[in-house]
Amino acid sequence: MKKLKLLVINGPNLNFLGIREPEIYGKSTYQDLCNLISSKAAELNIDIEIYQSNHEGQIVDKIQEAYFNKVQGIIINPAAYTHTSIAILDALKSVNIPCIEVHISDINTREEFRKHSYISLASIKQIKGHGFNGYLEAIEYFDNLLNK
């Protein structure tokens, strides 16, 4: 069977995991997160690319690239762009690739402005408040949805 092809996109400031607000996001680093995702993908025999950018337009470009690369599922933590970016929402709708939105913290129990997500309008599922484990749950969800 052909390997399932997934793309993980992390938005602004997630490269600062371990440094930024550890009381909210934990002490583990962005590299720790990448290692965790890679070993889960290896365990399930999934082809996975992990991408991080602090720039909205680059994230739009990456989503469009996924269309041409025949990516089957996108896992995205758009970080602050979750609450502001119609451009990322439109990009996700344009490519029509199933998308799972992940947040390390629980965006519903924080400031009011974090409760609204544009990205949820293009997502089949939102996972929030499960820490780094949320990414692994998203990988497993796609594995069950697309690989079984």
107 binds ligand DQA (CB under 6 A): yes
- Whether 48 and 139 have beta carbons less than 8 Å apart is answered as yes
Residue from 8, 46, 74, 104 touching ligand DQA (CB under 6 A): that is 104
At residue 12, the 3 state secondary structure works out as coil
Q: Which of 25, 30, 81, 118 is catalytic?
A: 25
Choose between 132 and 141: whose C-beta lies nearer to ligand DQA.
132
Choose between 5 and 137: whose C-beta lies nearer to ligand DQA.
137
- Of residues 14-33, those binding ligand DQA (CB under 6 A): none
Query: If you search the block for the tokens 């092809």, which residue do you land on?
Result: 5
10 binds ligand DQA (CB under 6 A): no
Choose between 72 and 82: whose C-beta lies nearer to ligand DQA.
82
DSSP letter at 81 equals: G
Helix residue ranges, H only, 5-132: 22-25, 30-43, 56-68, 86-95
Cβ neighbour number for residue 141 with a 10 Å cutoff:
17
Residue from 52, 53, 82, 123 touching ligand DQA (CB under 6 A): that is 82
118 included as an active-site residue: no
103 included as an active-site residue: yes
Q: Which of 30, 81, 103, 118 is catalytic?
A: 103
Half-sphere exposure of 102 (CA within 13 A, CB side): 26
Choose between 15 and 72: whose C-beta lies nearer to ligand DQA.
15
- Whether 74 and 63 have beta carbons less than 8 Å apart is answered as yes
- Whether 6 and 47 have beta carbons less than 8 Å apart is answered as yes
Contact set with ligand DQA (CB under 6 A): 13, 77, 79-80, 82, 103-105, 107, 114
Which of the residues are catalytic? Answer: 25, 103
